[in-house]
């Protein structure tokens, strides 16, 4: 983005160059043509594919020692989804249906299949009604107060926890690399800062994908003390944070590899060839 520019006759240069001018609170903001023509949609649609790859790899890791036969198949799939969130440093949270929502929620939750799929829409995690207090508790390490659960840390398998955390790293770096390599010539990327557009595009689609996952990936659990039934689902506040930061940063790293290979190493070799030719 840049400041508005005009030609000698008073016409906007932005319009001639393909830039777009937006009126924001009375100020004209010029969005450069390269930003407008960037393949944002291509990055967004890669996000669900990247998360599906994470989920599939986590499923393989969880299946290596054998899945728990006492857990239903649908719940097993949901647990794999929650573990996939945990691998992004997004813990699960225990939640309940608020009393004010109960009259609306009960008819929906009573439908066998639909209720199972949509129950995540009606529950609110512990302390989620107070976002500031929630983040303060997270910063203070009060996981018990906000009902946080990390299935990776609780597992008792032969697969090291680090392997789970490396799965989204590999998937998102790979997604950023593939996206950049495919659209590099169309993206008009001229500087390292512009490389981050690839990660941001994937990040937008990824956080939307994970927010949908907080609805689908839920399981029921019963407190051994109070015998109260809770719903366990990924923490939505941290999903908003890490669901964007993870793919934005890691996708940009993958794209940076393409930038170094295409614009740095290739340009350097061309300069060497030109110098040899002149000599």
- Looking from the CA of 5 toward its CB, the CA atoms found within 13 Å total 13
Total number of domains in the chain? 2
Please check whether residues 92 and 12 belong to one and the same domain.
no
Chain centre to alpha carbon of residue 91: 14
- On whether the CB atoms of residues 68 and 77 are closer than 8 A, the answer is no
State the Cα–Cα distance between residues 64 and 99, nearest whole angstrom: 41
Can you give the residue range of the structural domain that contains 188? 39-265
Q: pLDDT averaged over the chain?
A: 82
SS3 70: coil
Per-residue pLDDT, 29: 63
Whether pLDDT at 157 is above 50: yes
Residue 93: strand pairing partners: 148, 233
Q: Kindly state whether residue 278 falls inside one of the protein's structural domains.
A: no
Any bridge partners for residue 114, and if so which?
none
Q: Mark whether 109 and 244 lie in a shared domain.
A: yes
Q: Is residue 279 part of a domain?
A: no
Verify that 17 and 70 share a domain, yes or no: no
In contact, 186 and 40? CB cutoff 8 Å: no
Q: What torsion do the CA atoms of 108, 113, 116, 119 make, to the nearest 10 degrees?
A: -30
- Summarised one tens digit per residue, pLDDT across range 190-206 is 788 889 999 999 999 99
Tell me which long-range contacts 260-266 makes (C-beta under 8 A, separation of at least 24): 262/184, 263/189
**pTM of the complete model:** 0.82
Is the pLDDT assigned to residue 55 strictly greater than 90? yes
∠ CA 115-118-119, rounded to 5°: 75
Q: Are residues 21 and 58 in the same domain?
A: no
Q: Give pLDDT tens digits for 246-260.
A: 999 999 999 999 999
**Same domain as 155, residue 127:** yes
Based on the domain organization, do 23 and 47 belong to the same domain? no
Q: Pick the more confident residue, 201 or 22.
A: 201
Residues 220 and 163 in one domain: yes
Residue 150, classed as helix, strand or coil, is coil
Domain shared by 59 and 1, yes or no? no
Same structural domain, 27 and 162: no
Q: Is residue 277 part of a domain?
A: no
Instruction: Answer yes or no: is 81 within a domain.
Output: yes
Strands (E) in the chain, as ranges, are: 20-24, 27-31, 92-96, 124-125, 148-149, 219-222, 229-234
Is the domain of 99 the same as that of 22? no
Do the domain assignments include residue 196? yes
Please check the confidence at residue 69 and state whether its pLDDT lies above 80.
no
């Amino acid at each position: 983005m840049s400041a508005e520019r005009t030609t000698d006759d008073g016409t906007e240069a932005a319009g001639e160059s393909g830039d777009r001018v937006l009126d924001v609170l009375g100020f004209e903001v010029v969005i450069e043509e390269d930003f407008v023509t960037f393949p944002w949609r291509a990055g967004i649609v890669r996000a669900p594919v990247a998360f599906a790859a994470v989920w599939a790899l986590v499923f393989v890791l969880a299946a290596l020692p054998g899945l728990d036969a006492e857990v239903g198949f649908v719940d097993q799939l949901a647990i794999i989804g929650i573990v996939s969130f945990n691998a992004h440093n997004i813990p699960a949270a225990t939640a309940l249906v608020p009393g004010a929502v109960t009259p609306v929620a009960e008819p929906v939750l009573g439908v066998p299949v639909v209720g199972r799929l949509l129950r995540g829409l009606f529950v609110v995690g512990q302390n989620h009604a107070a976002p500031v207090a929630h983040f303060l508790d997270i910063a203070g390490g009060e996981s018990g107060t906000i009902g946080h659960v990390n299935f990776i840390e609780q597992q008792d398998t032969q697969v090291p926890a680090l392997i789970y955390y490396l799965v989204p790293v590999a998937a998102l770096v790979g997604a950023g690399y593939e996206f950049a390599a495919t659209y590099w010539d169309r993206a008009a990327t001229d500087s390292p800062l512009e490389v981050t557009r690839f990660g941001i595009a994937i990040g937008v689609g990824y956080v939307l994908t994970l927010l949908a996952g907080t609805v689908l990936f839920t399981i029921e659990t019963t407190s051994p003390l109070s015998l109260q039934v809770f719903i366990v689902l990924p923490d939505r506040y941290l999903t908003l944070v890490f669901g964007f930061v993870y793919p934005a940063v890691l996708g940009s790293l993958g794209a940076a590899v393409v930038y170094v290979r295409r614009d740095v190493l290739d340009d350097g070799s061309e300069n060497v060839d030109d110098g040899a030719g002149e000599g």
